[in-house]
Amino acid sequence: MEENMEEGQTQKGCFECCIKCLGGIPYASLIATILLYAGVALFCGCGHEALSGTVNILQTYFEMARTAGDTLDVFTMIDIFKYVIYGIAAAFFVYGILLMVEGFFTTGAIKDLYGDFKITTCGRCVSAWFIMLTYLFMLAWLGVTAFTSLPVYLYFNLWTICRNTTLVEGANLCLDLRQFGIVTIGEEKKICTVSENFLRMCESTELNMTFHLFIVALAGAGAAVIAMVHYLMVLSANWAYVKDACRMQKYEDIKSKEEQELHDIHSTRSKERLNAYT
């Protein structure tokens, strides 16, 4: 009988501990972090593969070659974009962890787990810094989203030309890379529907795959923007919580000082009355 009672108390204690731990999880920050990681993974992974597919298309069907030396051509720019993607992936992996840690330490359940805590000036400055930094990152991701829409537009035009050639017989349509600033004005790099390279490109799966990879990368950048907006709402709520907790802390300190002063005054009067009586 006693063993059953002890087992029931143990299960109850484990259940209460689990409930307390689950209550300490910042679910809003967790959702925003998952959305951020998903968006960054889609943008970086699909964007990297789409850039590699673009290099293959330019070299195979447009017959472009890398320029010797340190000349800044389209292939060098693509390599730079790949390195930028590596940096974005690493930076936002770390930033997501930092925001999760900040969410844990500004969750009200931390107070229940570790008792009363002091809201320092440094803590308030950290929260304000994260709000400003997240706002700047949101603007940066908006720019990345707008920039990613450019190759989607270019590939949509190319895909439309391929589709129109199959619908309209005898159509002679051309795509000139000079229109999009990919090559200089002096270089004539265009492909027309009557050429063999164009027909092979439209029939290949590489064009379709690269086009859809850029679309998924654009969706990933949009998801990162939504995650940044979600983080701003979470951080603003945490800032309000920290501010209210700071005011409550000051109130409690003033109240405890007044109570201590009243206690000291009462003790002094009691001693004076005792001395006068004796």
Q: How many CA atoms lie within 13 A of 257 on its CB side?
A: 6
Strand residue runs (E) in the chain: 174-176, 190-192
For 173, phi then psi, to 5°, come to -110, 145
Contact 224, 39 (CB under 8 A): yes
Highest mean pLDDT among 85-99, 150-164, 193-207, 243-257: 85-99
Span 180-207, pLDDT tens digits: 777 777 677 777 777 788 888 888 888 8
Distance set, CA 85 to CA 27, 42, 70, 181 (Å): 28, 11, 22, 22
Q: What's the rounded Cα separation, in Å, for the pair 213 and 43?
A: 9
Task: Flag the least confident range among 18-32, 66-80, 145-159.
Answer: 18-32
CA angle 243, 228, 97 (to 5 degrees): 75
Span 18-63, pLDDT tens digits: 666 666 677 888 899 999 999 999 999 999 999 999 999 888 888 7
Q: What's the rounded Cα separation, in Å, for the pair 175 and 65?
A: 18
Q: Which residue has the higher pLDDT, 86 or 113?
A: 86
Average pLDDT over residues 118-123: 56
